[in-house]
Amino acid sequence: MTVVTGISLNPLLLFMIFRLNEELIFPDPSLAEPDGLLAIGGDLSRERLILAYQNGIFPWFSEGDPVCWYAPHERCVIFPDQVKISKSMRKVLADEFFTVTMDKAFREVILNCAQSPRKGQDGTWITTEMQDAYIDLHESGWAHSVEVWHKGVLAGGLYGLEIEGVFCGESMFSLMSNASKTALIWLCRHPGYRLIDCQLPNDHLLSLGAVMIPQEVYLSVLED
């Protein structure tokens, strides 16, 4: 692992980016840049990905770019017992409009997440390389998917990793209204998870009860 330093447009600000090599190691997450960027390089091997998530780090990069590793100083999470369910959503759940399963269609879920358009984004960060890496994690028991079905047709879902009782969510998609909400609420009701890691905030997650916690608090949960 090497360190690349430089000066930003503001001459008073020095930035430091770690460059990974074949050595299986990550820098301390607290050394991440203000935007959360911690390191670049390395690979998406099973061992490196698991080590990353165990230390509150995740990959996020675009097609053609080097692998970028992030460790946000504030983490967007949902405490399962604090998930917010609207009155209209309670009716959807009570009416059993959807059927929910787990780990029944991981490949289909990650492919739909990759193909779903994102507001303000051109293309997807869930590259073919990323898909292959997470399918490998799924086949080895680390990554999981939640599928939401309507009349036997996949309507939405999400996927992520399970690390020490924390579900580290990666992405979700919805082909029908309320499908992704159903997946997330189902996940919060799953007895095996004490925290849902959403990584970065958005209005959709915040409306469901997501909150921001300091990096050190998130890491302490992983260590418990």
Binned at pLDDT 50, 70 and 90, residue 117 comes out as: low
Whole-prediction pTM value? Answer: 0.88
Rounded distance between C-alpha atoms, residue 34 and residue 49, angstroms? 22
Binned at pLDDT 50, 70 and 90, residue 2 comes out as: low
Question: Mean pLDDT across the chain, nearest whole number?
Answer: 90
Residue-wise pLDDT for 144-187, tens only, equals: 999 999 999 999 999 999 999 999 999 999 999 999 999 999 99
Binned at pLDDT 50, 70 and 90, residue 217 comes out as: very high
Rounded distance between C-alpha atoms, residue 123 and residue 171, angstroms? 14
Residue 123: which residues within 8 A CB-CB, separation 6 or more?
62, 63
Going through the chain in order, the beta strands assigned E by DSSP cover: 2-7, 14-20, 37-41, 58-59, 68-70, 74-78, 99-102, 143-150, 153-163, 166-174, 195-199, 211-214
pLDDT of 9 > 50? The answer is no
Strand partners, 171: 159
Q: What is the pLDDT of residue 224?
A: 79
Question: Could you give all domains of the chain from N- to C-terminal order, each with its CATH number?
Answer: 2-71 (3.30.70.3550), 76-223 (3.40.630.70)
pLDDT of 6 > 60? The answer is no
Residue-wise pLDDT for 178-214, tens only, equals: 999 999 999 999 988 999 999 998 898 999 999 999 9
